[in-house]
Chain A
Amino acid sequence: MAIKKFMYLNRRSSFGTVYAIESLEVVLVAAAFDQDVSLAFIDDGVYQIIEGQNTNGIGMKNFSKTFHALGDYEINKLYVSAESLEERGLSADDLMPLVYEDEDDNWVEKSSVKVVSNAEISKIMSKQDVCFSF
Chain B
Amino acid sequence: MLHTVNKSSFERNSLKSCINIIDDTSVILLIEDGVISATKNINSSMIANLANQGRVYALQGDVEARGISSKLVDNIKLVDYTGFVDLVVEHGTSVSWV
Chain B residue at minimum C-beta to C-beta distance from A84? B10
Inter-chain contact A50/B65, CB cutoff 8 Å = no
> Quick one: which of B40, B67, B69 contacts A89, CB cutoff 8 A?
B40
Tier of interface size on chain A:
20 to 34
Name which residue of chain A comes closest to B61, CB basis: A57
In Å, the complex CA distance between A14 and B33 comes to 9
A89 — which chain B residues lie within 8 A by C-beta? 39-42, 44, 71
Q: Are A58 and B71 in contact (CB under 8 A)?
A: no
Chain B residues 55 to 91 lying within 8 A of chain A, measured CB to CB, are 60-62, 64-69, 71, 80
Please, which residues of chain A bring their CB within 8 A of the CB of B39?
88-89
Q: Report Cα–Cα, A43/B33, bound state, in Å.
A: 13
Whether, in the assembled complex, B8 has its beta carbon less than 8 Å from a beta carbon of chain A, the answer is yes
Q: How far is the CA of A90 from the CA of B44 in the complex (A)?
A: 13
Of all chain A residues, the one with the shortest Cβ separation from B80 is: A57
Q: Count residues of B near A (Cβ-Cβ below 8 Å).
A: 24
Is B42 a contact partner of A87 (Cβ separation < 8 A)?
yes
B24 in the interface (beta carbon within 8 A): no
CB atoms of A16 and B6 under 8 A apart: yes
Please determine whether A16 and B80 come into contact, CB atoms closer than 8 angstroms. no
Contacting residues, chain B, for A16 (C-beta < 8 A): 6-8, 32-33
* Known pairs A13-B8, A88-B39; A53 contacts B67 (CB<8 A): yes
* Chain B residues whose C-beta falls within 8 Å of the C-beta of A94 in the assembled complex: 67, 71
Q: Is B28 an interface residue when CB atoms closer than 8 A count as contact?
A: no
User: Chain A residues with Cβ under 8 A from B71's Cβ?
Assistant: 89-90, 94
B60: chain A residues within 8 A (beta carbon): 57
B62 and A51 within 8 A (CB)? no
Contact indicator B41/A87 (Cβ below 8 Å)? yes
User: B10, A43: Cβ atoms under 8 Å?
Assistant: yes
Interchain Cβ contacts under 8 Å between A and B, 14 examples: A12-B11, A44-B36, A47-B68, A51-B67, A53-B65, A54-B64, A55-B64, A58-B61, A58-B65, A62-B65, A88-B36, A89-B39, A89-B41, A89-B44
Interface residues in chain A, defined as those with a beta carbon under 8 Å from any beta carbon in chain B:
12-17, 43-44, 47, 50-58, 60, 62, 64, 87-90, 94
